[in-house]
Structure 1
Amino acid sequence: MSDSSEDRHSERPPDSQPGPTQSASPESSSPRPADLHTSTALAEPQVTSAAPLAMVETAFLASTASLIWLVNYYFPMGPLLRIFFPVPIALTYLRWGHRAAWMSALVSGLLLSVLMGPTRSILFLMPFGLLGVQLGALWRRRANWFVSISIGTIIGTFGFFFRIWLVSILLGDDLWAYITTQITELVEWGFVKLGLLIQPELALVQAIAAIMIVINNIVYLFVVHLAAWLLLERLGNPIPAPPKWVQVILDYEAD
């Protein structure tokens, strides 16, 4: 009998014997906090790149600039829409930097080239596309109005003569001679009103024409700055404040 009991004990399977590998505590079966943090971080990725938003806004502002030029060409409203020609590209520079601004100007030119032909596209890019990039760069660097208007006047004056040269080639006529003739008649009328019976010289007439072009660009840039100052501040991208005398005049008119 004793031998049979010993045989039964010896025949017990080894799996039923307790061992250190089979002892499991509740703490070992539950996930650790570090594992929970890792799984949460892997399950909720966050995209921090702003490239898609920059691309969408650049395309939208480029199409806006092209649309303003297109509407003003077919439905001219005087100088009203002309004020906003460089503003969308300048806003692109304020929001996304120089690369997006140049892309916006080039895309605007391509859109106008498809819609209106390459000539109108070039007339938009020079000077208004370049002017938008320049204004955006100076506004982002917080340059005062005197600096931005001065540089913008140089670009606008150069752009005017570039347009006269290009259109003269396309039309086969000298538009500068036509402008000189008109200025000559204006100067002669002024001399008659002053009682001066003299014939204006060609150099004087051309100098007066150049001065009038510069003054026209100064006034245009000043109005563009006023419109951008009132508009872009409401869009969350303010430009530098105007001079004190401009603020005093605007406050006086508001009162």
Structure 2
Amino acid sequence: MNLLTLRVHNKPLFFHIPQNTPPLSSLSAPNFLNLQPKIPFKSTPFSIPTFKNILNVSKIKASVFNNEEAKDTAEFEDLTTNGVVYQKTLRLVECSMFAAVTGLVYFLSNSLNIENYFGCFFSLPIVISSMRWGVAAGRKTMVATAMLLVVLSGPVKALTYLLTHGLVGFTMGSLWRLGVNWGPSIFLCAVARSMGAVGYVLTSSFLIRENILALITINIHASLTFLFAATGINTVPSMNFIYALFGTLVLLNSAFFVFLLHLLYSMFLTRLGMKASLKLPRWLERAMK
């Protein structure tokens, strides 16, 4: 029977002290109260801030302020005349103004039936945009003009502008921007105008439900047959010959028109101060001096 067993109200309370427990006098307060295992404590040395540390902190702050000032100056330089933001904004404004003026003039000329008097100037804004800001700017000007004409006068007039003037202006502006000579430029622009003319004829045929191209070739065939019979030539031209003759005549017509456009636009751009970016033939440079 354990002598340390107490009985209160007939309920035993057990307070058991193991025999191997050291006496309280040998227990220190920190060891007695600490129930967790001991962790070696490493004291961190307290460093007094020196003048060198203060200089390093000031350098860090100065570098932060210098970076912020550099960003501010970079943003300010973008808004200057030669800055990237200013140049992009100027290109967007010029392309928009060229597209708006071209669309308005084309709409008014169609409404007043004076398109034949201003037809040679409808491709000029696309050429100027391509020469000043690149091929992409000329393409954007052409597309913006077509979209404006869709709103003003419908898709038929917009398609007519693209086929008769937009393709020629974009081709000419792109070739002049790339520095191509007049020979290949006139040939490629003539091909573009010929394709636009044939596309315009096919579009008109679809709208009026009549094959205009077949009517043109049949009339050419009848005229040549009558001419051969009048001159005593007993031959009848084939339709393949008629098609080849029709394509050649359209290409020659387009080549003469494009050559006149080259002369007109070169003189106009020279007056605008863009002669350095043009690649003119020698005979034209001598005539313009």
Q: Under a length normalisation based on structure 1, what TM-score does the superposition of the two structures give? A: 0.72
Q: Residue 92 of structure 1 aligns with which residue?
A: 129
Question: What stretches of structure 2 of length at least 5 have no aligned partner?
Answer: 1-68
243 and 202 in structure 1: CA distance in 2 versus 1, 3 angstrom threshold: farther
Superposed displacement of residue 228, structure 1: 0.3
Amino acid across the alignment from 2:268: L
Correspondence 1:29-108 to 2 at 5 A: 45-46=76-77, 47=79, 48=83, 49-77=86-114, 79-108=116-145
| Secondary structure of the structure 2 residue equivalent to 1:233 | helix
Corresponding residue SS for 2:271 = coil
Q: CA deviation digits over 1:148-197, x for unaligned, max 9?
A: 11111121122222222222222211011121133224424543564435
Name the structure 1 match of 2:24: none
- Which of 257, 260, 264 does residue 220 from structure 1 map onto? 257
Unaligned runs of 5+ in 1: 1-37
Structure with max Cα Rg:
2
Deviation at 1:120, TM superposition (A): 1.2
How far the C-alpha of 1:121 sits from its partner, in A, is: 0.5
1:150 corresponding residue in structure 2 = 187
Q: Is contact 2:167–2:193 with CA below 8 Å preserved after alignment?
A: no
What residue number does 1:242 align with?
A: 281
Counterpart residue type for residue 170 of structure 1: L
Aligned-pair CA distance for 1:247:
6.2
Instruction: Name the CA shift for 1:118/1:197 in 2 (closer, same or farther; >3 Å).
Output: same
Contact kept, 8 Å, 2:102 with 2:125, in 1: the verdict is: yes
State how far apart, in whole Å, the 2-side matches of 1:192 and 1:79 are: 37
Report the Cα distance in structure 2 between the residues aligned to 1:152 and 1:237, rounded to whole angstroms: 21
Q: What corresponds to 1:15 in structure 2? A: none
Residue 196 (structure 1) aligned to one of 224, 228, 233 = 233
Q: Which of these residues, 127, 132, 136, is aligned with residue 173 of structure 2? A: 136
Percent sequence identity is: 24
Matched length: 211
- Conserved 8 A contact 1:164-1:175: yes
In structure 2, what is the Cα distance between the partners aligned to 1:247 and 1:177?
A: 44
Q: Is the 8 A contact 1:134 1:152 kept in 2?
A: yes
Structure 1 segments of 4+ aligned residues over 6 angstroms from their partners? none
Are 2:266 and 1:229 equivalent residues in the alignment? Answer: yes
Q: How far apart in 1 are the matches of 2:100 and 2:223?
A: 40
Provide the rounded CA distance (Å) in 2 between the counterparts of 1:193 and 1:215.
27
After superposition, the CA RMSD in angstroms is 2.8
Q: Deviations over 1:86-128 (max 9, x none)?
A: 1110110111112221211111001111111111111211252
Higher RCO, 1 vs 2 (CA within 8 Å, ≥6 residues apart): 1
